[in-house]
């Protein structure tokens, strides 16, 4: 059965942790705060930035400033401290050739997401790329998914693929099934418990999507 597959970007298609964590560290330095350790900084990959900064003690009235500081580094340097996971392009090519329709649903700003996908030669595989709006809209994963569902035609058999609980929860709100990949930045135990199915490798993900 042909599917409409909504892919997360960070931690699912590309290993973007290095750039994201370095940019987060820059924010804590900006405010004169002790940065979380590297293990804790991993949680910045996936969820909306404002939620991560709230979690680590950035005051509410400073979050917009924190995001500006983060993006100043990310938009010039951090976005390319990144690489596609091995065999991701092979997966996308096979899925496309099998007749599935591929989409991006990411909490990352849409303009930057397009630029990253073009940089790594992955842009051509996707029918539509949807991320957070440059005007501050679609900050939550479920809002991104809803935007795709409302603005793309003839969507049947939709399934979300992501690596964090943000992806799982967004899919749940939108009442679509979700596959959690276990090579990214999410808590594997939580993902196994809450996702409809999981995949530990690209090969396994292809097999699950091909059922």
Q: Which of 33, 56, 34 is nearest to 44 (CA)?
A: 56
Tokens of 138: 């679609």
User: How far is the C-alpha of 25 from the C-alpha of 37, rounded, in Å?
Assistant: 9
Distance CA 74, CA 77 (A): 5
Note if 86 is an active site residue: no
User: For residue 180, what pLDDT is reported?
Assistant: 98
Q: Which pLDDT belongs to residue 47?
A: 86
**DSSP, res 98:** T
Q: What are the structural domains, with CATH classification, of the chain?
A: 4-15+83-209 (3.40.50.1000), 17-80 (1.10.150.240)
Active-site entry in 8, 10, 15, 163? 8
Per-residue DSSP letter, 186: S
pTM of the model: 0.92
Residues 6+ away with beta carbon under 8 Å from 161? 5, 6, 7, 8, 12, 167, 178, 179, 181, 205, 209
Mean pLDDT, each 10-residue run in order, the chain (211 residues)? 96 96 97 94 91 95 96 95 97 98 96 96 98 88 97 96 97 98 97 98 97 89
Q: Using CA atoms, how far apart are residues 23 and 69, in angstroms rounded to an integer?
A: 8
């Amino acid at each position: 059965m042909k599917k409409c597959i909504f892919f997360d970007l960070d931690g699912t298609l590309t290993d973007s942790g290095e750039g994201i964590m370095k940019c987060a560290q820059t924010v804590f330095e900006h405010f004169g705060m002790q940065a979380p350790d590297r293990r804790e900084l991993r949680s910045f990959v996936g969820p909306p930035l404002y939620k991560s900064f709230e979690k680590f003690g950035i005051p509410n009235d400073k979050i917009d400033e924190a995001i500006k500081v983060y993006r100043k580094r990310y938009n010039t340097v951090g976005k390319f401290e990144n690489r596609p996971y091995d065999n991701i392009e092979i997966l996308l090519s096979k899925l496309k050739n099998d007749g599935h329709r591929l989409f991006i649903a990411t909490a990352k700003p849409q303009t930057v997401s397009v630029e990253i996908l073009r940089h790594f030669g992955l842009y051509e595989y996707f029918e539509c790329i949807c991320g957070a709006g440059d005007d501050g809209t679609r900050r939550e994963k479920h809002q991104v998914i809803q935007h795709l569902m409302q603005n793309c035609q003839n969507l049947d058999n939709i399934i979300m693929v992501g690596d964090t609980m943000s992806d799982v929860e967004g899919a749940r709100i939108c009442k679509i099934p979700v596959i959690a990949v276990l090579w990214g930045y999410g808590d594997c135990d939580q993902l196994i418990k809450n996702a409809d199915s999981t995949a530990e490798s690209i090969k396994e993900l292809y097999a699950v999507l091909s059922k």
